[in-house]
């Protein structure tokens, strides 16, 4: 296998430390940007050549935004950073003894520091056969497929009504009552009640049903109970049928079965969407098996207070891929911790280069927000003051007021992504 290096390196000068960052998400890009002024050579590796602002994927999925509105080339973000290279490739192996990363192209990347920040993917809890029937939402490709299914459901109903005088129920079933599920359900309700209401001659999109199923006792279970209650009430005002305590037992073409308090139920579904679970990227498993490296039940790598696996001080695991506990609780897989972890890695490498002791990582929680349709949200604010807030008049999706407020919630300032390009986006990314 070929070993990749910088062809412009002066062979007479001392070799600089090589930092390989796998993943161009929030954590990876913050780590790369934080290393801009250090005497290191940075290589960012990602399977895609663009960074996706995941918090707004649901608006792409419902045709409110274009994919170009939430994606930006990684090369564009890092183009002014002279010590950074970008490779579009996939990591298929990690040799911790020789400190090399194997790529799918056959090349190998040597490293002095390795940063793993490849995020999470969908989890169907052992029912992988459900995936083609109920797509999840993690990538631009996922969003485009969901948009295709939702819009096609209306088109097929219009055609069948015109040809046969009837059409199957336009039921949209969202499985999972976390932030992604709540946002999807609210957005679908918006397009059926508002945006598409006058676009069809033979069907009435406003008569569509949007059902949100969750196996737990309340939606937004990670939020305080009062915000969960307000979120459910807001969803119901939008016409969303919220069914908590409903454990999905089967998913088929055009239907969903669930076990609830009233027994088994079967729901006809024109479109079924999955927002019920996530699991860590499989990349962490390349570091080794227990007891060398330990994992939680989601496949996240358990790290110490310097974000390292045991006895691997040169390897950092960040974002959704990391299981890091603070004050007895796991730090959530959202944008704020991911970005702070990326910034921290740059600080640690700077400390190493300066011969200083490494500080411990400490997550600073600024709060979180989930939007519900075009005119409401719930927010748990932790900084600069503590409050539980709901019912914000956010304006229509895509408006400057929505973007500026939501960007600050997600990143602490309305300036993501770093570098040239769009600066307006939504709340913290979800694992």
- Cα–Cα distance measured from residue 318 to residue 324, given in angstroms and rounded to the nearest whole number: 9
How many other C-beta atoms are found inside a 10 Å radius of the C-beta of residue 289?
9
CA atoms within 13 A on the CB side of 350: 15
| Closest-CA residue to 336 (of 414, 386, 411) | 411
> Which of the residues 183, 257, 314, 325 is marked catalytic?
183
Contact between 170 and 101 under an 8 Å Cβ cutoff? The reply is no
Task: Establish whether 183 is a catalytic residue.
Answer: yes
Contact between 425 and 55 under an 8 Å Cβ cutoff? The reply is yes
Question: What single string gives the DSSP state of each residue in 184-243?
Answer: HHHHHHHIIIIITTTS-SS--GGG-EEEEEESSSSSSTTS-HHHHHHHHHHHHHTTEEEE
| Closest-CA residue to 46 (of 72, 67, 18, 16) | 72
| Closest-CA residue to 42 (of 112, 103, 93, 135) | 112
The b-or-e profile of 167-192 (16+ CB within 10 A means b, else e) is beebbbbbbbbbbbbbbbbbbbbbbb
DSSP H or E run through 406: helix 400-411
- Cα–Cα distance measured from residue 355 to residue 67, given in angstroms and rounded to the nearest whole number: 44
Burial of 298 (0-12, 13-18, 19+ CB in 10 A): middle
How many other C-beta atoms are found inside a 10 Å radius of the C-beta of residue 270?
21
Burial of 297 (0-12, 13-18, 19+ CB in 10 A): exposed
DSSP H or E run through 389: strand 387-390
- Cα–Cα distance measured from residue 378 to residue 371, given in angstroms and rounded to the nearest whole number: 7
Contact between 290 and 274 under an 8 Å Cβ cutoff? The reply is no
The residues assigned a catalytic role are 183
């Amino acid at each position: 296998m070929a070993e990749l290096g910088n062809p412009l390196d002066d062979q007479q000068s001392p070799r600089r430390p090589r930092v390989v960052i796998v993943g161009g998400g929030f954590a990876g890009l913050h780590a790369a940007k934080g290393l801009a002024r250090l005497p290191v050579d940075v290589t960012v590796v990602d399977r895609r050549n663009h960074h996706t602002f995941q918090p707004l994927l649901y608006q792409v999925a419902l045709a409110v935004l274009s994919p170009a509105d939430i994606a930006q080339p990684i090369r564009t973000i890092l183009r002014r950073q002279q010590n950074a290279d970008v490779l579009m490739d996939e990591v298929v192996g990690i040799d911790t003894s020789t400190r090399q990363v194997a790529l799918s192209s056959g090349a190998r990347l040597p490293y002095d520091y390795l940063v793993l920040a490849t995020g999470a993917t969908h989890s169907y809890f052992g029912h992988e056969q459900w995936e083609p029937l109920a797509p999840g939402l993690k990538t631009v490709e996922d969003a485009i497929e969901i948009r295709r299914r939702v819009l096609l459901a209306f088109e097929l109903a219009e055609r069948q009504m015109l040809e046969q005088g009837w059409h199957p129920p336009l039921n949209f079933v969202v499985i999972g009552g976390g932030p992604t599920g709540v946002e999807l359900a609210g957005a679908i309700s918006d397009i059926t009640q508002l945006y598409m209401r006058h676009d069809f001659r033979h069907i009435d999109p406003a008569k569509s049903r949007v059902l949100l199923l969750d196996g737990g006792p309340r939606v937004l279970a990670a939020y305080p109970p009062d915000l969960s209650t307000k979120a459910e009430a807001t969803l119901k005002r939008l016409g969303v049928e919220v069914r908590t305590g409903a454990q999905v037992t089967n998913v088929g073409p055009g239907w969903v079965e669930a076990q609830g308090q009233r027994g088994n139920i079967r729901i006809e579904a024109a479109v079924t969407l999955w927002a019920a679970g996530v699991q860590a990227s499989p990349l962490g498993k390349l570091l080794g098996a227990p007891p060398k490296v330990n994992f939680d039940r989601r496949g996240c790598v358990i790290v110490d207070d310097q974000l390292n696996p045991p006895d691997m001080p040169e390897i950092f695991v960040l974002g959704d891929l990391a299981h890091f506990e603070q004050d007895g609780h796991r730090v959530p897989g959202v944008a704020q911790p991911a970005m702070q972890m990326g910034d921290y890695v740059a600080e640690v490498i700077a400390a190493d280069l300066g011969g200083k002791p490494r500080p411990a990582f400490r997550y600073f929680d600024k709060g979180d927000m989930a939007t519900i349709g075009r005119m409401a949200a719930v927010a748990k604010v932790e900084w600069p003051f503590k409050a539980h807030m709901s019912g914000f008049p956010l304006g229509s999706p895509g408006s400057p007021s929505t973007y500026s407020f939501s960007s600050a919630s997600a990143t602490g300032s309305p300036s993501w992504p770093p570098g040239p390009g769009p600066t307006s986006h939504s709340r913290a990314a979800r694992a």
